[in-house]
Structures are given as structure tokens and as C-alpha cells.
């Protein structure tokens, strides 16, 4: 579940230590834009130590490395992957070539470090018109790709537009991102909402991107997490309906039947999958029957 | 290159720094020493955690096979791993490579 992925500046111990306490679904330890050029070395060491020695609960912890147009990215990868980064967020991915270069480097580092091949995921930031245009090819260029994410400021500038309150300049990009991600079988994660004091604006944008089909949103301030979780978490009614659908499908399968009716509606496989996704998003396990407190199985 | 607080970097006249004096961080200064390894700690953790901090600093210096140096730490509540990371960064800068 990647409803919220919180950026933490890589050279700020206070934020690195406390970020997970705000309970985002994921953390992005940042070595790129939030770290000045003179502090890149110190940030890389600090992030490596934090990864290797801290517990982050159930947070998925990734690292935004410096771009492949710098001399820093290989050292970034060789430091943070052995230390335990679950994934690498790669800035300025314009073509599949970038992903292939990263994939190759990750394979070498995993091999050297005794990490299972292919276990480190790649999260692609598409921050140019070219990157957006190539979204599907990028998303399918490596099995490691877990998500594609449209850029914000950089992308708007490349489109020769300005970021507006209603985000109209990124609207088509967001719709395309969903189509590309779904076609490729990866997550679509939205860019950050930069106006950190505008809660209403954040809620409107999150509601819009959820409606489009996004899996979640990048976050630059802990105060944004709760609002996005509220928007992206299914309502009680949606959860109850999904539970009935999944239970009915399981019952039908146990009787060797493929289709079933729930609440007067024919339920087939796509509906069951959507219901399972709703339960996942609500944080409810659906793979096994629920257990009662005394250990007896239910359902 | 700044030598005055939160943004530090690089080697200057035989001295290198890493870290900041922000909350939960520490500023580590490495300089040459003719008389073996020397460690000075001031700030938030100096009184209560001096021994543990010295242990961590020595552990990092040993791991990096650092030459005899003077290590000065201005602490503002840095946890063990932050102290270790800052010492490592300062030593790397002192040795001139800025390496990790």
C-alpha cells in the first residue's frame, strides 16, 4: 500500500529519525534536491547508517538518489542498497535507457552484497515531456519498476506551464500516467502538493487523483499524511460491500461455482479483484479467513 | 566552504568538519594531532553520555583506520548512529577524498 510516501531530507537527522512516527505508508530518504552539493557525501553516509540501524515499522523505505546525469548515483546505490533500501527513486527518467542503467548497477550491487537478485525496486520520476511520453516503455523496461510518478515543478517548466492551484497543467499527464501504469502493471503515484498550508487544496487534489485511479501521493510535509489517508482509505460502506463480495466469491469457489450474486448484482472476477483491492487499501487481510481472539477461524 | 555552523564542508588548514548544531545532530571537527588520538566532547550529551560517545567515536576511527587525530564534538542530542555518521564524514573529508 502506497497511499503516502513521505520525503525526508537526507542530511537532517531529526527528520530522518522521526519521519516514520507520522505513519506514512512509505518513506523516501532524499539524497537529491534537499541536499546541497557540499553535503552530498555526509548525507550519503547518514542515510546509509539510518537505513542499516533503524527500525521503520511497516513503512516501505526507499531512497531518492541523484540523477544519472551526475557522478553521484552509482555511489548512492552502492551505499544504500546493501544498507537495506527496499527501492530506489530515480529522478529525471526520460527513456528506458536510464532504467536499464540503474537495473544493471542494482544487479551488480545485489550480487556483491548477497541480496536476492531483483529485490530492489525502481520508482521512476518522469519529470520531462519526453519522460511522460515514454511512460509505458519506461514502466515495462525492467521487472524492478514498481511505480511511475509524474514530476511537479520540473515537469511543469518543461511543458512551459506554471503550477496552478487547480493543477490543470498536469491534468492530461496524470490521466496518461494511469493508463501507462495500468497497462504496464505498476503503481501510479502522484507528485507532491507543494502548498503545505492549504489543506483544502490538498484534499481536492487527492480526491481528484484518487478518482483517476492513482495508488497514492508523494508527501513533503507530515501534516499532509492524515488528509491523504482519509481520502485514499475506503469508506465503511465500501469496506462492508467489499467484504460481502469477497466472502461470496470464496463461498462460490468452494462450491465450484464461478459467478455469484451479491446485493442484487452479478459478481465476476473483475469485481472481486476490485473488492480485494478495496480491502487492501483499508488495511484488511482477505487472503485467509479471519481469526477470532480465541484462535478459532471464522468465515 | 563554510566553517561556521549548520552548513559545513571540506578540509581547511588541516581541519575538516561534518554535521550541524541543529537538534539531534552534532558538529564534528577533525584536526591533526601529534600526541595520539584525542577526543573532546561538549554540548547536550557531554555529561551523561561521554563514555558511550567516546566508544562510538573510537569504533568509527578504528574501522576507518584513521591516523592520529583530534576529534572535537559539539553535541545537540545526536543519537549513536548520527554521531558515527558525522565522524565518518569528517574523517573522509579530513583525508581529502570526501568519500563515503
Selected residue of A43, A45, A83 to mutate for chain B interface (largest B Cβ count, 10 A): A45
Q: Are A53 and B81 inside 8 Å of each other by CB?
A: yes
* pLDDT score of A146: 97
- Claim to verify: residue A204 and residue A250 sit in the same structural domain: no
- Claim to verify: residue A127 and residue A252 sit in the same structural domain: no
Contact A125, A97 (CB under 8 A): no
- Claim to verify: residue A101 and residue A246 sit in the same structural domain: no
ipTM of the complex in this document: 0.85
Which positions ≥6 away from A74 have C-beta within 8 Å?
A105
pLDDT average, residue stretch B3-13: 42
Number of separate domains in chain A? 2
pLDDT digits (tens, 9 = 90+) for B51-72: 999 999 999 999 999 888 999 9
Contact residues, B window 69-88, toward A, CB-based 8 Å cutoff: 78-79, 81-82, 84-86, 88
- Name the closest residue on chain B to residue A14, using Cα atoms: B24
CA distance B37 to chain A (A): 22
CA distance A18 to chain B (A): 10
For residue B38, pLDDT over 90 is answered with: yes
Which residue among B7, B23, B78 sits closest to A38, beta carbon to beta carbon?
B7
* pLDDT score of A260: 80
* pLDDT score of A296: 43
Mean pLDDT of all residues belonging to chain B: 84
* pLDDT score of A286: 65
Report yes or no: B19 at the A interface, CB cutoff 8 Å: yes
pLDDT average, residue stretch B74-82: 95
- Claim to verify: residue A107 and residue A252 sit in the same structural domain: no
- Claim to verify: residue A205 and residue A278 sit in the same structural domain: no
- Claim to verify: residue A222 and residue A254 sit in the same structural domain: no
* pLDDT score of A38: 95
Contact residues, A window 4-43, toward B, CB-based 8 Å cutoff: 12-14, 17, 36, 38-39, 41-42
Q: Are B84 and A54 inside 8 Å of each other by CB?
A: no
Residues of chain A with pLDDT under 50: 289-299
- Claim to verify: residue A242 and residue A218 sit in the same structural domain: no
* pLDDT score of B7: 39
> DSSP characters for B49-73?
SHHHHHHHHHHHHHHTT--SEEEEE
Cell readout for A115 is 541480496
* pLDDT score of B36: 86
Cell readout for A153 is 515543478
- Three-state DSSP at A54 gives coil
Name the least confident of A38-52, A184-198, B2-16, B30-44.
Answer: B2-16
What CATH number should be reported for the domain whose range is B11-94? 3.30.230
Measuring CA to CA, which residue among A204, A96, A98, A94 is closest to residue A151? A94
CA distance A9 to chain B (A): 13
* pLDDT score of A293: 43
Contact residues, A window 37-76, toward B, CB-based 8 Å cutoff: 38-39, 41-42, 44-46, 48-50, 53-54, 75
Q: Are B85 and A14 inside 8 Å of each other by CB?
A: no
Q: Which domain holds residue A16?
A: 4-232
- Claim to verify: residue A134 and residue A249 sit in the same structural domain: no
Q: Residue A259 gets which letter from DSSP?
A: -
Contact A76, A53 (CB under 8 A): no
B99 confidence band (pLDDT: 50, 70, 90): very low
- Can you give the CATH number for the domain in which A154 is found? 3.20.20.60
Domain assignments of chain B as residue spans, ordered by start: 11-94
CA distance A14 to chain B (A): 5
| Cα–Cα distance for residue pair A56/A20, rounded to 1 Å | 6
Per DSSP, helices labelled H in chain A are 13-18, 40-53, 73-80, 96-113, 129-133, 135-139, 153-158, 171-184, 199-212, 225-232, 236-254, 269-281
Cell readout for A213 is 485511479
Which positions ≥6 away from A33 have C-beta within 8 Å?
A91
Contact A98, A63 (CB under 8 A): no
| Cα–Cα distance for residue pair A74/A91, rounded to 1 Å | 14
Q: Are A49 and B82 inside 8 Å of each other by CB?
A: yes
Q: Are A45 and B92 inside 8 Å of each other by CB?
A: yes
Higher pLDDT, B40 or B32: B40
- Neighbour-count burial of A177, counting CB atoms closer than 10 A to its CB (0-12 exposed, 13-18 middle, 19+ buried): buried
| Cα–Cα distance for residue pair A142/A102, rounded to 1 Å | 10
* pLDDT score of B91: 95
For chain B, percent of residues with pLDDT exceeding 90: 66
For B84, the enclosing helix (H) or strand (E) is helix B80-94
- Claim to verify: residue A193 and residue A288 sit in the same structural domain: no
- Please state the φ and ψ torsions of residue A27, each to the nearest 5 degrees: -120, 145
Amino acid at each position: 500500500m502506497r497511499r503516502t510516501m513521505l520525503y525526508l531530507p537526507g542530511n537532517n537527522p531529526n527528520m530522518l529519525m522521526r519521519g516514520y512516527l507520522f505513519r506514512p505508508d512509505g518513506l523516501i530518504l532524499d539524497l537529491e534536491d534537499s541536499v546541497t552539493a557540499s553535503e552530498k557525501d555526509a548525507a550519503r553516509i547518514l542515510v546509509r547508517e539510518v537505513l542499516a540501524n533503524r527500525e521503520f515499522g511497516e513503512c516501505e523505505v526507499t531512497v531518492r538518489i541523484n540523477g544519472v546525469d551526475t557522478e553521484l548515483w552509482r555511489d548512492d546505490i552502492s551505499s544504500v542498497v546493501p544498507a537495506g533500501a527496499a527501492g530506489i527513486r530515480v529522478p529525471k527518467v526520460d527513456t528506458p535507457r536510464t532504467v536499464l542503467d540503474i537495473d544493471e548497477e542494482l544487479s551488480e550491487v545485489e550480487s556483491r552484497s548477497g541480496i536476492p537478485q531483483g529485490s530492489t525496486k525502481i520508482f521512476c520520476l518522469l519529470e520531462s515531456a519526453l519522460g511522460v511520453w515514454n511512460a509505458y516503455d519506461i514502466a515495462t523496461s525492467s521487472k524492478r519498476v514498481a511505480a511511475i510518478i509524474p514530476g511537479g515543478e520540473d515537469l511543469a517548466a518543461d511543458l512551459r506551464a506554471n503550477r496552478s492551484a487547480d493543477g490543470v497543467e498536469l491534468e492530461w499527464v496524470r490521466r496518461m500516467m494511469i493508463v501507462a501504469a495500468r497497462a504496464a502493471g505498476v503503481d501510479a503515484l502522484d507528485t507532491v502538493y507543494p502548498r503545505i498550508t492549504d489543506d483544502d487544496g490538498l484534499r481536492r487534489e487527492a480526491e481528484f487523483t484518487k478518482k483517476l485511479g492513482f495508488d497514492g501521493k508523494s508527501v513533503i510535509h507530515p501534516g499532509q499524511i492524515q488528509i491523504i489517508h482519509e481520502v485514499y482509505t475506503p469508506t465503511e460502506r465500501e469496506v462492508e460491500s467489499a467484504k460481502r463480495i469477497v466472502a461470496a466469491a470464496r463461498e462460490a469457489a468452494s462450491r465450484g461455482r464461478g459467478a455469484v450474486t451479491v446485493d442484487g448484482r452479478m459478481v465476476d472476477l473483475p469485481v472481486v479483484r476490485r473488492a480485494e483491492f478495496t480491502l487492501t487499501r483499508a488495511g484488511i487481510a482477505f487472503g485467509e479467513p479471519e481469526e477470532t481472539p480465541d484462535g478459532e477461524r471464522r468465515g | 566552504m563554510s566553517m561556521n555552523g549548520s552548513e559545513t564542508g571540506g578540509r581547511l588548514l588541516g581541519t575538516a568538519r561534518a554535521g550541524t548544531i541543529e537538534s539531534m545532530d552534532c558538529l564534528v571537527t577533525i584536526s591533526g594531532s601529534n600526541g595520539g588520538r584525542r577526543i573532546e566532547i561538549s554540548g547536550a550529551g557531554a555529561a551523561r553520555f561521554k563514555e558511550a560517545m567516546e566508544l562510538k567515536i573510537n569504533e568509527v576511527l578504528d574501522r576507518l583506520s584513521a591516523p592520529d587525530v583530534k576529534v572535537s564534538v559539539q553535541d545537540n542530542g545526536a543519537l549513536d548512529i548520527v554521531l558515527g555518521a558525522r565522524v565518518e564524514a569528517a574523517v573522509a573529508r579530513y583525508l581529502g577524498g570526501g568519500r563515503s
